[in-house]
Amino acid sequence: MTGRVNGKVAFVTGGASGLGEAMVRLLVEEGARVVLAYVDAARGEAIVSEIGEGGQKAFFLDLDVTDEGAWDRAMEETLQRFGKLNVLVNNAGIAPTGDMEMPFALWRKTLAVNLDGVFLGTRAAIRTISKCGERGSIINVSSTMGMSAEPTTAAYSASKGGVRNFTKAAAVYCADKKLPIRVNSIHPGMCLTPLVKNYFDANPQEMEPQLARHPIGYLGEPIDIAYGVVFLASDESKFMLGSELVIDGGYLI
């Protein structure tokens, strides 16, 4: 299929690496114009340059997702550049390891990026999409660790579990207010992003145990998650609200 999100404007946080980069590229390929938000300007601008077309299909914004004022400015710039907003993908996140003895500062930072950032982005997008007179879709990237946990995922699991249930609250809010905005969460399993590949290159003994935890027999790729995002961004998913799209190779079975 092609043109699945023709005419839509999408905003992707964490859009210049790993899963986010794959989302940006596929959304553009499927017909959307995309705002790529990231904290590394050089990387973000490089991807926009590779996409090409003189910024007509994508442009870069430097965005700290924990900064409330920065979100207001980002929404305004999106409207100035593309005239509307239809889709927000709250993808930016961090995944530090930490057990019950983790430093409180690291706990706070993880919750700030992974959960506060999703709240601020969702709120800003609801306000912006509501002004545009078209249907909208907000996609919050949680994780399989938002449904399960390991000894060293205390803050990460807490933050992603928060994203999971916050998404439902935002979804029923939009429904209650009769806003034409769907809010759903997506739950990726382990994917072979550059960061994960580097880890396995340095720790090859860890690959087999991870594969054994995935009944499908292999790990995911960023494009696998990007396909799910395009589905939730498109009108193909118009009857989905507050749903959890799990893409994990059977990890949670």
DSSP at 123: H
The three-state DSSP-derived secondary structure of 51-118 is HCHHHCCEEEEECCCCCHHHHHHHHHHHHHHHCCCCEEEECCCCCCCECCCCCHHHHHHHHHHHHHHH
Residue with tokens 């989302």: 23
59 contacts 37 by C-beta, under 8 angstroms: no
Query: Is 173 assigned a catalytic role?
Result: no
Q: Which of 156, 173, 199, 251 is catalytic?
A: 156
> Can you read off the two tokens belonging to residue 49?
């340059």
Q: Which of 24, 41, 42 is nearest to 33 (CA)?
A: 24
Q: How far apart are the C-alpha atoms of 200 and 194, rounded to whole Å?
A: 10
Query: What would you report as the CA-atom Rg of the chain, rounded to the nearest whole angstrom?
Result: 17
Q: What does the alpha-carbon distance between residue 181 and residue 160 come to, in Å, rounded to a whole number?
A: 22
In angstroms, rounded to a whole number, what is the distance separating the alpha carbons of residues 185 and 69? 24
Which residues fall within 8 angstroms of residue 116, CB to CB, at 6 or more apart? 65, 66
Active site residues per annotation: 156
